[in-house]
Structure 1
Amino acid sequence: MSDALTADAVHLGLDLGTQSARAVAVDGTGRLVAAASRPLTGRRDGARHEQDPEQWWEALAAACREALAGIAPERISGLAVDATSGTVLLADRSGRPLTPGLMYDDGRARAYTARADEAGAAVWRALGYGRMQPSWALPKLLWLLDNTDFPDARLLHQADLITWRLAGHQVPADASHALKTGYHLVEERWPDTELARAGVPAGLLPDVVRPGTVLGTVCAGAAAATGIPAGTPIVAGTTDGCAAQIGAGALTPGAWNSVLGTTLVLKGASRHLVQDPGGVVYCHRGPGDLWLPGGASSSGAGAVARRFPGADLDALTAAAAATGSTAVAYPLTGASGERFPFRAPDATPFVLGEPAGDAEEFHALLLGVACLERLCLDHLDHLGAPADGPLTLTGGGARNPYWCRLRADVLGRPVSLPEHAESATGMAVLAATASGAGLEEAAAAMVRVRETLHPDPARTARLLPAYLDFTDELTRRGWLDPAVAAHARRKAEQ
């Protein structure tokens, strides 16, 4: 076993989320040694969502100082950074931000998606996602180029600013963050001709390497600011969704991690690129020869928070569990629009059945999320993605025991709940590879399973008709491809 996977070695995972910057120190056996976080604030104005990039560095540095205060410097073996997917800014040649950070869900560039798609359509098809989405990084870059005047600027992804500050000079971006900027993940290069056609000047984009590559080491200035020892290896990280997947240990082909937060995100592992003509599933490039397919829904636990703000969720859950209701609510978090497991800008919430009272309505939302989760996996299976391996549940929704059991019953398959599953933990696992451990080896040593839940066959049989009614209704409304619905029915009848 590598020395990196012993209790003496400590690996740092640094996570830039939407609301906080977090640092965790995890030893080589998976024990959480220390953790700290600092809040982040942003500005929302209609479709716009911005943050101050300097705040990212200041918050992360403060979190690192607190987390590392009681740890002997010689134990620190490496670090990796994750950040939100599609968040970008322009910086000058010294790394000083010239613009705010345009966040992952900033929608100001909607009018620029057509230009991005026209310029790179053949590449986007070859990469399996078909077309750009308005919140992706390339349309936002085109907006920045048309609405600012910085002729000598560099594009940085959110994590790139942090790795630049840590190293004291610019280092390559990771391919996971570069995906939404149009990086060619198969040929491992920027598609220069297509990007030039879209209006991206030469020299603007960073070099790119695969996640897990050692980028450099922490410089003296960063060591003073963060408490991370100078000389600590900096490992190329991933986006936050891929980081959570690594933290859940879902790294063998066919394994999946289902993250239930405000929205539902599924991330899996494959030995081949998974292509989706509908463009709702896309693949990140993982370390080594792994591909990381997945998708992010517009539905999830946010629908519960929207319908029952400030409610006692424990009491509601207990009441819901006693109802035995099979009413299903389509759990969109907003007023309209779905992106996974199907793309339907006009999709709106609906309810099948007639839930009586808050408890049954609450249960209908829980069941709706479970049905949507099964449909996501059926859609992935329909595309040819390996989808029958181990499944882990993470995110805030995984803290509700009844909901986890309901999801296992609807899925009809065992689910595992990791002990410490979060993006920062995933980056600590990835950081362990700087000392020679393989990623799957590191995950096996460092990811601890708290509990495994097995489905109740009788409950699965009782709930499957509700799932099939749900898919039929989505098809009737014209949102779900009938071929996917038919595949889901065949799987249910096996």
Structure 2
Amino acid sequence: MADEDAGWLGIDLGTQSVRVLLVTADGRVLGSGSAPLTGRREGVRHEQDPEQWWSALCTASRAAFGSAPGVPVGGLAVCGTSGTVLLTDRSGRPVSPALMYDDGRAAAEAARARETGLAVQDTWALPKALWLVGEYGPGLRLAHQPDQVITRLTGEPPPADSSHALKTGYDLHAAAWPEATLAQLGVPDHLLPDVVRPGTRLGAVCADAADATGIPAGTPVLAGMTDGCAAQIASGALRPGSWNSVLGTTLVLKGAARDPVRDPTGVVYNHLAPDGTWLPGGASSVGAGVLAAHFPDADPASMDARAAAFEPSRAVAYPLVSPGERFPFRAPDAGPFVLGEPEGDAGLWAALLQGVGFAERLCLDYLHHLGAPLDGPLTFTGGGARSRYWNQLRTDILGRPARVPEQTEPALGMAGLAAYGASGAVALADVAERMVRVRTVLEPRADRTARFAEPYARLVDALGARGWLPAPVAAHARDRLHLGTAES
């Protein structure tokens, strides 16, 4: 088989499923598979059984290779939800449930961390690590979500990648853990793993893992990145000024910049790409998960068609999926709300779709407020990007063009990162642009953009009145009402 027919394997450990994608360097899909995940939500608590991740990976991986038997695999990488952690023993066996990315039980620990000068949010991994140590005691090892799966793939606990370690307090500028600060917080010795850059070789698939997953034994395993970064790679948005909006259960915006975007509040944080460029962004608690919460049995395509009659909806929504907001402002006490009375189920569906678009616009306005570069292309990925109607609606609300790739999933980004790490390429953007295939280019309709200005302003005012959105940010958003968000 020719080299161009070799596969690169991307593994995405999502909130609701594990996805596996086997693709060539030029983006041809050779095989794919998925398997569902379940979790436990109760108030601010959100956890999963980490053993599920492995069993789901085995199912999804065997499905992917079922349509591509005998394909040589150049390497694989794994992404997970940012901030999801658990405790293991020294051999890598789980001793706690996994606290998921939006688990909010560690608010007190987060406040303690902020007192030391660390700009962490309540749901970040470092506060969770402190909470877990308080519950389970010292002498254990912290693992990020991909670390746990990689342990099973290679047969030994790996170092963490710097992308997942960021929310655990890792200092990307110094390329080290802030040991003095962590000691001040009481972080036990040997709790935190060693850290390497994404794309670093961690080992190879062992014989037992090959038998369980169908992945060829000896396949190189490369350090991955968070799901938001993975989706950004899958979007090809890696040149400075480019941005990717990942609409899944929640909303994540990731961009590319030559220098970090500074935000003293810690709402926007910066990942370091494996080639040394910076990936600023933030993760909101608004997202498509709100649709399933309100309409668990709805047919999305049918509801989209009905919602098109309400542009704009009479109601204005801020559709938080879980309590508290993380981006474009930090408000642990924030809750979802609807202003006005929606026009039945279709009007509420429309209000929720539009509310996500308004939150997305506010995220871009906040990034502009911080001086982030926004002059490159915008790409839509994530499960929400499967809705053609919602893509056009978001484009209209934002007032700027958007691109939708053929493959909109983080697993593709991990395949690209594996190809970058194993091939010795100079720039990750070069690898991604070859692998990513753009399916659709959307243009905003000026008359629709104008229609959505008033409800967007109402939402900004409501967020400010509740004390969640800082006044300077609200004023900046209002000043930009007459502009498309691509303009500076």
- TM-score, scaled to structure 2: 0.91
Paired residue for 1:442, among 403, 412, 431? 431
Task: Report which stretch shifted further, 318-327 or 275-284.
Answer: 318-327
Cα distance in structure 1, aligned partners of 2:310 and 2:83: 42
Cα drift, residue 21 of structure 1: 2.0
Cα drift, residue 366 of structure 1: 2.3
Secondary structure (helix, strand or coil) at the match of 2:31 reads: strand
Whichever residue aligns with residue 328 of structure 2, its letter is: P
Paired residue for 2:128, among 106, 123, 140? 140
| Residues 180-230 of structure 1: CA deviation (Å, up to 9, x unaligned) | 111111101011111111111222211101111222222333333322223
> Which residue is equivalent to 2:141?
154
Per the alignment, do residues 400 and 282 of structure 1 end up closer, same or farther by CA in structure 2, a change over 3 Å counting? Answer: same
> Which residue is equivalent to 2:350?
363
Paired residue for 1:164, among 141, 145, 151? 151
Cα distance in structure 1, aligned partners of 2:311 and 2:115: 51
Secondary structure (helix, strand or coil) at the match of 1:135 reads: coil
Cα distance in structure 2, aligned partners of 1:403 and 1:169: 43
| Residues 303-339 of structure 1: CA deviation (Å, up to 9, x unaligned) | 3333344234333322332344353512323585322
Per the alignment, do residues 210 and 305 of structure 1 end up closer, same or farther by CA in structure 2, a change over 3 Å counting? Answer: same
1:76-475 → structure 2 map (5 Å cutoff): 76-119=73-116, 121=117, 124=118, 130=119, 132-149=120-137, 151=139, 153-325=140-312, 327-334=314-321, 337-352=324-339, 355-433=342-420, 434-437=422-425, 438-475=427-464
Whichever residue aligns with residue 209 of structure 1, its letter is: V
Cα distance in structure 2, aligned partners of 1:71 and 1:304: 35
Per the alignment, do residues 269 and 351 of structure 1 end up closer, same or farther by CA in structure 2, a change over 3 Å counting? Answer: same
Question: How big is the alpha-carbon RMSD for the aligned residues of Structure 1 and Structure 2?
Answer: 2.4
Cα distance in structure 2, aligned partners of 1:143 and 1:114: 12
Task: Specify every segment of 5 or more residues in structure 1 that has no aligned partner in the other structure, as ranges.
Answer: 125-129
Q: How many residues are paired up?
A: 481
Cα drift, residue 282 of structure 1: 1.4
Per the alignment, do residues 276 and 54 of structure 1 end up closer, same or farther by CA in structure 2, a change over 3 Å counting? Answer: same
Task: Specify every segment of 5 or more residues in structure 2 that has no aligned partner in the other structure, as ranges.
Answer: 484-488
Cα distance in structure 2, aligned partners of 1:345 and 1:111: 12
Cα drift, residue 355 of structure 1: 4.3
* Residues 244 and 254 in structure 2, CA contact (< 8 A), matched pair in contact too: yes
- TM-score, scaled to structure 1: 0.90
> Which residue is equivalent to 1:490?
479
Per the alignment, do residues 85 and 142 of structure 1 end up closer, same or farther by CA in structure 2, a change over 3 Å counting? Answer: same
Cα drift, residue 453 of structure 1: 0.6
Cα distance in structure 2, aligned partners of 1:406 and 1:432: 34
Task: Report which stretch shifted further, 153-162 or 322-331.
Answer: 322-331
Per the alignment, do residues 410 and 62 of structure 1 end up closer, same or farther by CA in structure 2, a change over 3 Å counting? Answer: closer
* Residues 298 and 334 in structure 1, CA contact (< 8 A), matched pair in contact too: yes
Per the alignment, do residues 109 and 68 of structure 1 end up closer, same or farther by CA in structure 2, a change over 3 Å counting? Answer: same
* Residues 319 and 355 in structure 2, CA contact (< 8 A), matched pair in contact too: no
Whichever residue aligns with residue 37 of structure 1, its letter is: S
The percentage of counterpart residues that share the same residue type is 60
Cα distance in structure 1, aligned partners of 2:394 and 2:166: 31
Matched, 1:53 2:75: no
* Residues 287 and 321 in structure 2, CA contact (< 8 A), matched pair in contact too: no
> Which residue is equivalent to 1:14?
11
Cα distance in structure 1, aligned partners of 2:321 and 2:9: 35
